[in-house]
Amino acid sequence: MFLGEFEYKIDEKGRVPIPPKFRGGLKDGGMVVATGPEKNIVAYSTAGWNKLAATLDGSSIAASKLRRLKRSLFAGAFTVNIDRQGRIALPPPLREYAGIEDEVIIAGVNTYFELWDKEQWASEKAASQEQAWQIIESLERH
């Protein structure tokens, strides 16, 4: 599980540290980073990404919708490796997409984690926290 929220600065080469607590979930040091749905970057272990890909292949989504989904997911994805200092190099297209220039927030989201521009994260976090308890309460009623 990827849990917690961490703040880092990106270095001049576009590298960002991966939280030490997360590195154990990335056993082989490899991972996949991709465009996220809210102008963020999503990061999966290689095994997690492969599981997501297999789920898509076995889904009952209409073929035309599945092609679009796969294009969106896989064309915006990159394989990266953690270096000896525990960092990954974020590909420039992903940094640009997410608006990440200097400070980055890494947030655990259970089976994957997200990388956010610090300011974008502040507003997303506020919106998520406001809605989270409403969603939990609606689940409890069912």
User: pLDDT per residue over 73-131, tens digit each?
Assistant: 999 999 999 999 999 999 999 999 999 999 999 999 999 999 999 999 999 998 888 88
Cα separation, 91 vs 129, in Å, equals 29
The amino acid that residue 55 corresponds to is T
Cα separation, 89 vs 141, in Å, equals 44
As a whole-number percent, the residues of the chain with pLDDT over 70 amount to 98
Any idea which fold 5-140 has? Chemotaxis protein chec (3.40.1550)
SS3 call for 135: helix
Closest CA to 4 of 125, 90, 100: 125
